[in-house]
Amino acid sequence: MEIRDVETLAAVNDAWPLLSDLAVSCPVGALVLPVSGERASLTLYSLQVTTRSALGGLAYNTGGLIVDHGWLRILGGGHSHLHSLAEANGLADATNSSTSPGFLVVAEDILGGRFAIDGGALGVEPGKICYFGPDTLEWTGLGIGHGHFVEQMLSGATVEFYAELRWAGWEAEAEALALDQGLSVYPPPFTVEGQDLHTATRAPVPHSELVGFLDEAALQIP
């Protein structure tokens, strides 16, 4: 794989303006996190994508997007307490690997759900966005690419997408979380007892701890 420098990757920065406009007009609210020039450049270089793509545009122009009261975190170049696209996927340096990752995590929600581009390892829809749900513990294909996914979420798609995973007053609980926290739910939403999130017990935990718990639980399912 030819390693391209940041100047080449960022030569045409035309994906971000559209996404920026959508963030401003987002019906459920979206916060654009700032990103330092150094971190933006490192993330873009590690990903080896151009800013003509939504992926590159977010990496180079934002620290991430916080959508719908903080429920959804669309990853970018990274911000305080929110990892970058490169950090979330272990891509610290483009020169360390000559192959593309098996999947690329691009967004996370406060219940430990994750959105990723299937690079082949998920075996669901290569090149498309897949979702790992805290209620299913499975990767499900959404049938859309990353750019379309971001546009949909910034157009209010979270309301319908998460309708079955919300409870009265979720907005305040989501807004109170730090960007590196998630909500641990007991009984877990993947159990029969945990299907009703209105009656479940919820508590803030490190998001990485929540993801680890869900991944471990998924491994134990026959």
Per residue of the chain (222 residues), give pLDDT as tens.
689 999 999 999 899 999 999 999 999 999 999 999 999 999 999 999 999 999 999 999 999 999 999 999 999 999 999 999 999 999 976 555 545 789 999 999 999 999 999 999 999 999 999 999 999 999 999 999 999 999 999 999 999 999 999 999 999 999 999 999 999 999 999 999 998 899 999 999 999 999 999 999 999 987
- What CATH class does 6-157 carry? alpha beta
The residue ranges of every structural domain in the chain are 6-157
pTM (2 d.p.): 0.95
Plot region of 77 (φ>0 → left; ψ -120 to 50 → alpha; else → beta): alpha
